Amino acid sequence: MSTPLVPYGQGRARGLGAAALGVHGDEMDRLVALGLPVVPGLTVPVGHAEELTDPAVARSAVDLVSQLAGRTVGDPAHPVLLRLVASAPLPAAGLPPEVVAIGLTPGNVDGLVGVIGRDGDLHQAWGALLRLLAEDALGVDPAERDDALAGIPAPRDQLSALLALCATSGLGPVPEDAAGQLALAATAVLRRWASPRGARARRTQRLPPDLGLALHVQALRIGHWERSGHGLATSRDPETGRAVATGRFHRGVRRTAPSAAGSEESLSGLGPAGEVLQQALTTLEHHFGSVAEVGFELRDGRVSLLSAGAVERPTPRAAVCLAVDLADAGVLTRAGAVRSLAPSAVQELLHASVRLTGSEAVLATGLAASPGAAEGVVCLSAQRVLALAADGTPAVLVADETDPGDVPAILVAGAVLTAHGGLASHAAVVARGAGTPAVCGASSLRIDRAQGLVSAGDLQVREGEVVTVDGRTGTVYLGAVDIRPAEPPAELDRLLGWADGSRRMGVRANSDTVRETEVALRLGAEGIGLCRTEHQFLGERLPLVQRMLLAPDAAAHRAALEELRRAQHEDFVHLLRAVGDRPVTVRLLDAPLHEFLPRDAVYEDEAARLRAAELHEVNPMLGVRGVRLALLDEELYPAQAEALFLAWVQVVEEGVRPLLEVMVPLVSLPEELAVAAGQVRLARDRVEAQTGVRVPYLLGSMVETPRAALLADRMAEHAHFLSFGTNDLTQMTYGFSRDDVESRLLRSYLDRGLLTASPFAELDADGVGALMALAVDRARRVRPEIKIGLCGEHGGDAASVAWLEGLGLDYVSCSPQRVPVARLAAAQAVL
Amino acid sequence: MTEASTAAVPLDDAARAALLELAVRGLHRGALGPAQRQLVDAGLAMVKGPLVMPTAEGRAAAADELRLPEGGEQETTLRRLMTTFLPINHRLRELCTSWQRRPDGSANDHGDPAYDAAVRDELDDVDEAVGRVLRRMAEAAPSLAHYRADLTAALEAFDDGHTGMLTSPLEPSYHTVWMWLHQELLLMLGMSREEDGELEAALVAAPSA
């Protein structure tokens, strides 16, 4: 049976796909079907490749390619050489190299040089061909070859020496005919694929060990070098995302894969052929529904394609612009455009990113705790950060770990770097909320505050020197690294607008401050789904809070609390103005009280020290926090609620009308919720007595203990809304302490396959999700109209959002920076 | 310690070898052995925390020791081979960059086996090319011969799954060993880094036609 030789474009008619034709043969078929110009060539299918090592089969291939090209090898006026390319049935890297200039002989080389007009390219190509044949097909020892060529300077003489060496030391002379050379080239390529090197490439890519190759013989038409060339082009400029063919182009005869540096020019040198290329790329974009890339050849000013494919990882900018352009062109529906974009691409567009050159020195690596990148001056204290920020100098807060007293510094710092702590450490959570890039748990760091020195292994930086923090990869670089600020293209707004039109779930933001609220609203949040009031107790308020906590008697306690209430009132006024007429969920104080005590343990007097000692807890996470505080100090929640309601009365007079939602944290007994609800009503009544305004609000409960989830029906009797706090719910369902587990256990669990993702990053549908499903079901049975949402990081995780859509939640609330991701993911979940 | 006394203390062979190693590698990490102790005592090296580093005097002494006779046959051969080595050196740096970051400038998270496999495959070409020039260099200067085995050891460790063994500066990685080789060549030829960089740039930019 004769060897099948399948011309480009004829595979489909014979019922052949990539399994037989290889990825390349299949691709060329597709290009021909699209009416695009391709280089003439043929495929020897998988399973028949070995047959091409037979000179008789190679002869048939040479004849068929000559016929397809309309040129014969050896024709002095319209010469053609051959190129041998291999491809596998699956996309694979590490394939044998292309073999070019098959058919060159000492007899025809001078004539070809005359046609081309210069000799460098051709001699190089010939040298590459001869070395490959000598080494991989004729068994010439590379060391012997090196020695034989060592004393010969002129390239042409080297080639003659190489030919002579093959004849004397190899298995035989290099054949003088194209078919004989092609057969040897096929031998060399197949041996390379069978070699340990090829085996390693298959192994590392998890490809079948016996993966076969298809061989492709192409015509390499020879013309004058000024009107010939080869290059690579993609359909979009990766920097701007615009549909402008972008790539490199080498003028002259094709030597090897078009990546050789130094002799390239931009595509503008293509002249009118550039337009043909642009049209081909547009056709391919529409065909692939993806950014396209091609390898192309230029001959006598005409372009023909050597390869084409979809770009696997287009830049996020290119991906967004493409989706919108395809929708505008009618190739995709708007829903299709929304579906086509990966949520991670949206995320990347919104963060500054570093541009590496490869010469950067890495100081340390840690957990990628908060995305974005920034450079700044190393500061080993919050005070230093604040001092620098005051005169506009970007600062990087570097600390073993951070505490609430560092929050103001984290808000203004360019970036945060900690040596300890996991993805839920204080620094990480605050930084994400603030949109400050952060790397946490960089355990190689040694911080010596007394000496003003940070070291990691042999590397050192002093306080005051510059580092660059990449919170997306968890890498910290010495010195300043090129950083590209986030400038999302206008196309992103259009696409997210389409997404908003499709989604069912609401998207809100977790925001504690005016600044975060403004960012969240600009990024499309419909309201605030979680305003933590803890921050109102930090910074310059801290001494006040400490006075309240350590008050020697009831009168002193009340006085401090009243002062706090007034301060909180101001905070709420600013926040509510920023929120406008939108909903805002204010969570009453949740943090354990000891967090507000002086870290340096310096107290006014011995009595204060003793009162502080009483607040000490063995396990604060499961101790007196959340609603439990309100049962021990019955004035705390009423004071907070009163401050909020009075602020509302004030802003309503100014003309905005926020929709207030008051939320009680860490409830595990429905009775706790009833008490807290009573305290909030008390505040409402006080405000009504004082102002004559009866403030409308909804009261709701966090669901973050398993017991609250199990008793959601009874919680619903007291609540207008429920909001899952999935961080705590995950901790308590697993019995995981997040910081400890993420820093010490998670890696091992992931490696062993016990977990596929951190349950704190991607919602655990099996366990935590089952509790949530049960809670939703029970709550709605009692109060069908009850609003149920989620506030926490899962609200900004695309996979979790998709799952939450299935659960029928009314809204998710996530950090401001992730609002666009949630908008897109919520739309994709219903499309 | 005065210069006169520095010169007066003769170094034993182990100390001389340690001095050359310090000059080539830039530093010595780990316990202070008798050889390093001798160097420190002679003012040729200094201790900085866990590191031993050459002093300016130490660097100068090592450079004198390694420097090939000017105009001699060895120097001429190595200088000629440098013109082959430097373009390969350029390729290795590009390759290490590809390993660390993707073409779009983002860090390589090693989540794409095909991308990593392509880089690794190219490393074989670089390794083969440097092996060829190294063989000729070692014929002229046998003290360089061990670099072939050292590079191979790094490559094998890398293929065994020690991913840091390609570029990590803290390991005797492929890149680290390569840099030692490069530094030793410069010292043997008395070439400055500037001269070296300019020569490499000129060789890489040379029109290939």
- CATH number of the domain where residue A780 is located: 3.20.20.60
Nearest CA in chain B to A203: B117
Cα distance between residue A461 and residue A363, in whole Å: 9
| Nearest by CB: B117 against A118, A205, A262 | A205
Residue A290 in this model has a pLDDT that exceeds 70: yes
- Asked, for residue A665, whether it belongs to a domain, the answer is yes
Cα distance between residue A617 and residue A620, in whole Å: 5
Chain A / chain B CB contacts < 8 angstroms:
89
What is the per-residue pLDDT for B5? 41
In tens, the pLDDT along A100-120 reads 889 999 988 888 888 888 887
Residues A479 and A597 in one domain: no
Candidate ranges A294-298, A702-706, A798-802; pick with highest mean pLDDT = A702-706
A195 touches chain B (CB under 8 A): no
- The count of domains in chain A is 3
What is the per-residue pLDDT for A600? 66
| Assigned token pair, B170 | 């803290």
**Kind and range of the H or E element at B9?**
none
| Nearest by CB: B121 against A124, A201, A261 | A201
What is the per-residue pLDDT for A251? 81
What is the per-residue pLDDT for A253? 66
Interface test with A, best of B27, B29, B95, B101 (most A CBs within 10 A): B101
* Mean per-residue pLDDT, B155-170: 87
> Going edge to edge, which strands form the sheet with A6-7?
A6-7, A41-44, A214-221, A80-87, A99-102
Residues of chain A contacting residue B159, judged by C-beta atoms under 8 Å apart: 200
In tens, the pLDDT along A389-413 reads 777 788 999 999 887 667 778 878 9
In tens, the pLDDT along A291-312 reads 999 999 988 888 999 999 898 8
Q: What confidence tier does B192 reach under pLDDT thresholds 50, 70, 90?
A: confident
- Asked, for residue A435, whether it belongs to a domain, the answer is yes
A473 touches chain B (CB under 8 A): yes
Q: What confidence tier does B104 reach under pLDDT thresholds 50, 70, 90?
A: low
In tens, the pLDDT along A194-234 reads 999 999 999 999 999 999 999 999 998 888 888 888 889 99
What is the per-residue pLDDT for A628? 95
- A197 contacts B136? CB cut-off 8 A: no
Q: What confidence tier does A729 reach under pLDDT thresholds 50, 70, 90?
A: very high
| Nearest by CB: B117 against A93, A120, A473 | A93
Q: What confidence tier does A591 reach under pLDDT thresholds 50, 70, 90?
A: confident
* Mean per-residue pLDDT, A738-747: 77
Q: What is the mean pLDDT of chain B?
A: 86
What is the per-residue pLDDT for B206? 63
- A262 contacts B121? CB cut-off 8 A: no
Range of the domain at A710: 493-830
Cβ atoms within 10 Å of B63's Cβ, excluding its own: 16
A741 or A811, which is more confident: A811
Nearest CA in chain B to A260: B208
Share of chain A above pLDDT 70, in %: 97
What is the per-residue pLDDT for A260? 42
What is the per-residue pLDDT for A150? 80
**How many Cα atoms are found within 13 Å in the side-chain-facing hemisphere of A75?**
15
DSSP β-bridge partners for residue A814: A509
Residues of chain B contacting residue A206, judged by C-beta atoms under 8 Å apart: 113
Residues A552 and A473 in one domain: no
Residues of chain A contacting residue B30, judged by C-beta atoms under 8 Å apart: none
Residue B4 in this model has a pLDDT that exceeds 50: no
To the nearest whole Å, the CA of A462 is away from the closest chain B CA by: 16
A17 touches chain B (CB under 8 A): no
CATH number of the CATH domain containing A80: 3.30.1490.20
A751 touches chain B (CB under 8 A): no
Q: What confidence tier does B161 reach under pLDDT thresholds 50, 70, 90?
A: confident
Alpha helices in A451-510 (DSSP H): 490-502
What is the per-residue pLDDT for B8? 47
- A238 contacts B104? CB cut-off 8 A: yes
In tens, the pLDDT along A32-82 reads 999 999 999 999 999 999 999 999 999 999 999 999 999 888 788 888 999
Residues A539 and A680 in one domain: yes
Cα distance between residue A72 and residue A66, in whole Å: 5
Residue B3 in this model has a pLDDT that exceeds 50: no
Number of residues that this document lists for chain B = 209
A355 touches chain B (CB under 8 A): yes
First to last CA, chain A: 52
Identify the three-state secondary structure at position A260. Answer: coil
Do the Cβ atoms of B182 and B65 come closer than 8 Å? no
Residue A321 in this model has a pLDDT that exceeds 80: yes
Residue A531 in this model has a pLDDT that exceeds 70: yes
- Asked, for residue A164, whether it belongs to a domain, the answer is no
Does the active-site annotation cover A814? no
Do the Cβ atoms of A672 and A693 come closer than 8 Å? no
Residues of chain A contacting residue B115, judged by C-beta atoms under 8 Å apart: 93
- Asked, for residue A168, whether it belongs to a domain, the answer is no
Nearest CA in chain A to B167: A358
Q: What confidence tier does A436 reach under pLDDT thresholds 50, 70, 90?
A: confident
Residues A426 and A571 in one domain: no
In tens, the pLDDT along A345-372 reads 888 888 888 888 878 889 999 988 888 8
Residue A182 in this model has a pLDDT that exceeds 50: yes
Q: What confidence tier does A257 reach under pLDDT thresholds 50, 70, 90?
A: very low
In single-letter form, the type of residue at position B128 comes to E
Q: Annotated catalytic residue: which of A123, A791, A794, A814? A: A791
- A200 contacts B207? CB cut-off 8 A: no
Cα distance between residue A216 and residue A129, in whole Å: 16
Identify the three-state secondary structure at position A791. Answer: strand
Q: Which residues numbered 313-332 in A keep a CB inside 8 Å of some CB on B?
A: 313, 315
To the nearest whole Å, the CA of A457 is away from the closest chain B CA by: 8
To the nearest whole Å, the CA of A576 is away from the closest chain B CA by: 39
- B159 contacts A315? CB cut-off 8 A: no
Q: Which residues numbered 428-457 in A keep a CB inside 8 Å of some CB on B?
A: 457
**How many Cα atoms are found within 13 Å in the side-chain-facing hemisphere of A574?**
13
Identify the three-state secondary structure at position B107. Answer: strand
Do the Cβ atoms of B194 and B108 come closer than 8 Å? no
- The DSSP secondary structure of A745-764, one letter per residue, reads IHHHHHHTTS-SS-TTTS--
Residue B177 in this model has a pLDDT that exceeds 80: yes
Residues of chain A contacting residue B96, judged by C-beta atoms under 8 Å apart: 358
In tens, the pLDDT along A443-481 reads 899 999 989 999 998 889 999 999 999 998 899 999 999
**Kind and range of the H or E element at A679?**
helix A670-691
Q: What is the mean pLDDT of chain A?
A: 90
- B107 contacts A356? CB cut-off 8 A: yes
- B204 contacts A262? CB cut-off 8 A: yes
Share of chain A above pLDDT 90, in %: 62
What is the per-residue pLDDT for B78? 96
A616 or A526, which is more confident: A526
Contacts of A685 (CB under 8 A, 6+ apart): none
Interface test with B, best of A193, A250, A356 (most B CBs within 10 A): A356
Residues of chain A contacting residue B91, judged by C-beta atoms under 8 Å apart: none
A229 or A507, which is more confident: A507
Residues of chain A contacting residue B132, judged by C-beta atoms under 8 Å apart: 142-143, 146
Structural domain ending residue among the three candidates A464, A484, A504: A484
A509 or B49, which is more confident: A509
Residues of chain A contacting residue B105, judged by C-beta atoms under 8 Å apart: 353-356
- Asked, for residue A172, whether it belongs to a domain, the answer is no
Long-range Cβ pairs for the range A546-552 (8 Å, 24+): A546/A596, A546/A597, A546/A598, A549/A593, A549/A596, A549/A597, A549/A611, A549/A612, A549/A615, A550/A603, A550/A604, A550/A608, A550/A611, A550/A612, A552/A607, A552/A608, A552/A611
Cα distance between residue A30 and residue A309, in whole Å: 10
To the nearest whole Å, the CA of B207 is away from the closest chain A CA by: 7
Cα distance between residue A540 and residue A546, in whole Å: 11
Residue A283 in this model has a pLDDT that exceeds 70: yes
Residue A255 in this model has a pLDDT that exceeds 60: no
Structural domain ending residue among the three candidates A484, A503, A534: A484
Is ipTM beyond 0.95?
Answer: no
Residues A561 and A632 in one domain: yes
Do the Cβ atoms of A118 and A226 come closer than 8 Å? no
The residue extents of the domains of chain B are 3-66, 73-205
Tell which residue, A696, A707, A686, A591, has the closest CA to residue A635: A686
| Assigned token pair, B115 | 């991308």
| Nearest by CB: A358 against B29, B96, B116 | B96
Residue A614 in this model has a pLDDT that exceeds 90: no
Residues of chain B contacting residue A123, judged by C-beta atoms under 8 Å apart: none
Interface test with A, best of B92, B137, B170, B208 (most A CBs within 10 A): B208
- Asked, for residue A142, whether it belongs to a domain, the answer is no
| Nearest by CB: A124 against B94, B106, B208 | B208
Q: Annotated catalytic residue: which of A250, A426, A535, A718? A: A426
What is the per-residue pLDDT for B82? 95
Residues of chain B contacting residue A92, judged by C-beta atoms under 8 Å apart: 114, 117
What is the per-residue pLDDT for A296? 93
Tell which residue, A657, A596, A606, has the closest CA to residue A629: A596
Residues A413 and A508 in one domain: no
Residue B95 in this model has a pLDDT that exceeds 60: yes
**Kind and range of the H or E element at A266?**
none
To the nearest whole Å, the CA of B115 is away from the closest chain A CA by: 7
Cα distance between residue A264 and residue B24, in whole Å: 37
* Mean per-residue pLDDT, A802-823: 94
In tens, the pLDDT along B41-86 reads 999 998 877 788 889 899 999 999 999 999 999 999 999 999 999 9
| Nearest by CB: A142 against B102, B104, B132 | B132
What is the per-residue pLDDT for A5? 96
**Main-chain phi, psi angles of A624, to 5 degrees:** -85, 95
User: What DSSP designation does A489 have?
Assistant: -
Residues of chain B contacting residue A144, judged by C-beta atoms under 8 Å apart: none
A525 or A144, which is more confident: A525
- Asked, for residue A280, whether it belongs to a domain, the answer is no
- A204 contacts B107? CB cut-off 8 A: no
Given its phi and psi angles, is residue A631 left (phi above 0), alpha (psi -120 to 50 degrees) or beta?
A: alpha
Does the active-site annotation cover A24? no
Structural domain ending residue among the three candidates A484, A506, A521: A484
User: What DSSP designation does A622 have?
Assistant: G
In tens, the pLDDT along A659-687 reads 999 999 999 999 999 999 999 999 999 99
A830 or A535, which is more confident: A830
CATH number of the CATH domain containing A432: 3.50.30.10
- B117 contacts A201? CB cut-off 8 A: yes
A261 touches chain B (CB under 8 A): yes
Helix, strand, coil tally for chain B in percent (to 5): 70, 5, 25
Residue A20 in this model has a pLDDT that exceeds 80: yes
